[in-house]
Amino acid sequence: MNVVFYLLAAITLAGGLAAVLLKHLVHCALATTVAFAGLALLFLQLDAQFAGFAQILVYIGAVAILIVFTILLTRGSELPKGGVFSRTWFVGLVIAAGVFAVLAWAVLESVRGIPQQTAVPAVTVHDIGNALVGRYVLPLEIVGLLLTAATIGAVIVAMHEKERRQ
């Protein structure tokens, strides 16, 4: 708990807020990137090097790019004509606030009694690799399958209409 944490938390939350509030879709996507980067830095601060870099690689390198590609492919880079918020925005806001209230209450109530590890965990990338192909090899294979299926699925979903029309 120090200045760095507060700074990173502020960056992340500001990025998230901007992503939700900004008018322009591309700005939203870029703000999301800020949030992703802030989260990656938070991971690094939590001594999770591998997860932090994987976060940057996957989210900034792939997901953010996917989002901006989609925005441009759906002509979302022009400003929307109507409002940016849905008609039921108030209900959504109340639900979100309620969820946050419950979560915060739960965190603050329950976290007190938990014993906490403060020493930096001595986990190397080597350990992560061993765990991935050892204990977690089945999930790894399934994720591989899922990613393949998702890639093919995404291609088919995005291509479908044109192919049929031909």
Asked if 60 contacts 4 with a C-beta cutoff of 8 angstroms, the reply is no
Where in 114-133 is the site for another protein (CB under 8 A)?
114-118, 121-128, 131-132
The CA distance from 28 to 4, in Å, is 25
Query: What's the token pair of residue 33?
Result: 């990137």
Among 4, 7, 86, 133, binds another protein (CB under 8 A): 86
The least CB distance from residue 148 to another protein, in Å, is 9
Q: Please compute, for residue 49, the number of CA atoms within 13 A of its CA located in the half-sphere on the CB side.
A: 9
The least CB distance from residue 85 to another protein, in Å, is 5
Site size for another protein, by CB under 8 A? 108
Our finding on whether 20 is near another protein (CB under 8 A) is yes
Asked if 56 contacts 63 with a C-beta cutoff of 8 angstroms, the reply is no
Our finding on whether 150 is near another protein (CB under 8 A) is yes
Our finding on whether 12 is near another protein (CB under 8 A) is yes
> Which x/- pattern over 38-77 shows residues binding another protein (rule: CB under 8 A)?
-xx-xx--xxxxxx-xxxxxxxxxxxxxxxxxxxxxxxxx
Q: Is the dihedral of CA 22, 24, 25, 26 positive or negative?
A: negative
- Helix pair angle (137-165, 125-133), 10° resolution: 80
Our finding on whether 95 is near another protein (CB under 8 A) is yes
Among 91, 133, 137, 141, binds another protein (CB under 8 A): 91
